[in-house]
Amino acid sequence: MRNKDIRRECEELWAKNKYYVLGKSHKVYLEIREYLKEKEVDILVLNEKIQKLRDIKESKEDFSNAVLHIWGYFKKDASTIEKQALFDILNEYMEGKNNQKVVIEYINNLLKKYPNEYLEKSTLLTGEEYETMA
Protein backbone atom coordinates (compact mmCIF):
# COMPACT_ATOMS: atom_id res chain seq x y z
CA MET A 1 0.00 0.00 0.00
CA ARG A 2 1.30 3.43 -0.87
CA ASN A 3 1.96 5.97 1.86
CA LYS A 4 -0.73 8.27 0.41
CA ASP A 5 -3.34 5.50 0.68
CA ILE A 6 -2.30 4.68 4.24
CA ARG A 7 -2.50 8.36 5.18
CA ARG A 8 -5.99 8.62 3.65
CA GLU A 9 -7.10 5.54 5.59
CA CYS A 10 -5.69 7.01 8.79
CA GLU A 11 -7.46 10.30 8.16
CA GLU A 12 -10.77 8.49 7.59
CA LEU A 13 -10.33 6.46 10.77
CA TRP A 14 -9.44 9.64 12.66
CA ALA A 15 -12.43 11.54 11.26
CA LYS A 16 -14.78 8.82 12.52
CA ASN A 17 -13.16 8.54 15.95
CA LYS A 18 -12.00 12.10 16.63
CA TYR A 19 -14.85 13.04 18.99
CA TYR A 20 -14.84 9.63 20.65
CA VAL A 21 -11.14 10.16 21.45
CA LEU A 22 -11.69 13.77 22.53
CA GLY A 23 -14.55 12.62 24.77
CA LYS A 24 -12.28 10.10 26.50
CA SER A 25 -8.98 11.97 26.76
CA HIS A 26 -7.97 15.41 25.56
CA LYS A 27 -4.34 14.40 26.12
CA VAL A 28 -4.59 11.37 23.79
CA TYR A 29 -6.52 13.50 21.28
CA LEU A 30 -3.57 15.91 21.10
CA GLU A 31 -1.08 13.02 20.90
CA ILE A 32 -2.92 11.50 17.93
CA ARG A 33 -3.14 14.87 16.18
CA GLU A 34 0.64 15.19 16.51
CA TYR A 35 1.15 11.61 15.32
CA LEU A 36 -0.88 12.31 12.18
CA LYS A 37 1.46 15.18 11.30
CA GLU A 38 4.38 12.74 11.02
CA LYS A 39 5.78 11.89 7.60
CA GLU A 40 4.96 8.18 7.93
CA VAL A 41 1.81 6.97 9.66
CA ASP A 42 0.46 3.47 10.23
CA ILE A 43 -3.22 2.54 10.42
CA LEU A 44 -2.45 -0.20 12.97
CA VAL A 45 -0.66 2.24 15.28
CA LEU A 46 -3.53 4.71 15.03
CA ASN A 47 -6.12 1.99 15.61
CA GLU A 48 -4.22 0.77 18.67
CA LYS A 49 -4.10 4.29 20.14
CA ILE A 50 -7.87 4.58 19.70
CA GLN A 51 -8.59 1.07 21.04
CA LYS A 52 -6.55 1.71 24.21
CA LEU A 53 -9.06 4.39 25.17
CA ARG A 54 -11.80 1.81 25.64
CA ASP A 55 -10.41 0.97 29.06
CA ILE A 56 -9.96 4.56 30.20
CA LYS A 57 -12.46 5.71 32.80
CA GLU A 58 -14.74 8.40 31.46
CA SER A 59 -13.76 11.98 32.11
CA LYS A 60 -16.76 14.25 32.48
CA GLU A 61 -14.66 17.27 31.49
CA ASP A 62 -13.30 15.63 28.33
CA PHE A 63 -16.72 14.33 27.29
CA SER A 64 -18.24 17.77 27.90
CA ASN A 65 -15.46 19.33 25.82
CA ALA A 66 -16.21 16.95 22.93
CA VAL A 67 -19.93 17.80 23.12
CA LEU A 68 -19.13 21.52 22.98
CA HIS A 69 -17.00 20.92 19.87
CA ILE A 70 -19.90 19.00 18.28
CA TRP A 71 -22.31 21.80 19.27
CA GLY A 72 -20.29 24.08 16.98
CA TYR A 73 -21.80 22.25 13.99
CA PHE A 74 -25.33 23.17 15.12
CA LYS A 75 -25.00 26.62 16.63
CA LYS A 76 -25.89 28.52 13.43
CA ASP A 77 -29.05 26.48 12.78
CA ALA A 78 -30.35 25.38 16.18
CA SER A 79 -32.84 27.50 18.08
CA THR A 80 -32.15 29.15 21.42
CA ILE A 81 -34.47 26.58 23.02
CA GLU A 82 -32.51 23.69 21.46
CA LYS A 83 -29.25 25.20 22.66
CA GLN A 84 -30.61 25.67 26.18
CA ALA A 85 -31.90 22.09 26.22
CA LEU A 86 -28.49 20.72 25.22
CA PHE A 87 -26.68 22.80 27.83
CA ASP A 88 -29.23 21.78 30.51
CA ILE A 89 -28.72 18.09 29.64
CA LEU A 90 -24.96 18.56 29.62
CA ASN A 91 -25.04 20.31 33.03
CA GLU A 92 -27.17 17.48 34.44
CA TYR A 93 -24.60 15.03 33.10
CA MET A 94 -21.78 17.00 34.77
CA GLU A 95 -23.73 16.89 38.05
CA GLY A 96 -24.27 13.13 37.74
CA LYS A 97 -28.03 13.39 37.18
CA ASN A 98 -27.90 11.62 33.80
CA ASN A 99 -25.34 9.80 31.65
CA GLN A 100 -23.51 10.20 28.34
CA LYS A 101 -26.24 8.26 26.55
CA VAL A 102 -28.83 10.96 27.35
CA VAL A 103 -26.54 13.68 25.97
CA ILE A 104 -25.75 11.65 22.84
CA GLU A 105 -29.43 10.90 22.21
CA TYR A 106 -30.20 14.62 22.31
CA ILE A 107 -27.37 15.37 19.86
CA ASN A 108 -28.65 12.63 17.56
CA ASN A 109 -32.09 14.27 17.64
CA LEU A 110 -30.46 17.54 16.57
CA LEU A 111 -28.64 15.60 13.84
CA LYS A 112 -31.96 14.33 12.46
CA LYS A 113 -33.21 17.90 12.23
CA TYR A 114 -29.90 19.37 11.02
CA PRO A 115 -28.11 16.61 9.07
CA ASN A 116 -24.33 16.62 8.95
CA GLU A 117 -22.56 13.83 7.09
CA TYR A 118 -19.34 14.23 9.07
CA LEU A 119 -21.05 13.95 12.46
CA GLU A 120 -23.30 11.12 11.27
CA LYS A 121 -20.19 8.95 10.89
CA SER A 122 -18.75 9.84 14.31
CA THR A 123 -18.41 6.77 16.53
CA LEU A 124 -19.20 8.94 19.56
CA LEU A 125 -22.68 9.51 18.12
CA THR A 126 -23.31 6.25 16.26
CA GLY A 127 -22.69 4.20 19.37
CA GLU A 128 -20.39 1.82 17.48
CA GLU A 129 -17.90 2.00 20.34
CA TYR A 130 -20.49 2.01 23.08
CA GLU A 131 -21.45 -1.65 22.86
CA THR A 132 -17.93 -2.73 23.75
CA MET A 133 -17.26 0.04 26.26
CA ALA A 134 -20.05 -0.68 28.70
What is the share, in percent, of the chain residues with pLDDT greater than 90?
A: 88
Residue 77 near residue 114, CB atoms below 8 Å: yes
Does the pTM surpass 0.85? The reply is yes
pLDDT band at 54 (very low <50, low <70, confident <90, very high): confident
pLDDT band at 128 (very low <50, low <70, confident <90, very high): confident
pLDDT band at 9 (very low <50, low <70, confident <90, very high): very high
pLDDT band at 127 (very low <50, low <70, confident <90, very high): confident
| Residue 119 to residues 16, 24, 89, 112, 133, Cα–Cα distance (Å) | 8, 17, 19, 11, 20
Q: Among candidates 42, 58, 56, which has minimal Cα distance to 103?
A: 58
Once rounded to an integer, what is the mean pLDDT over residues 122-129? 84
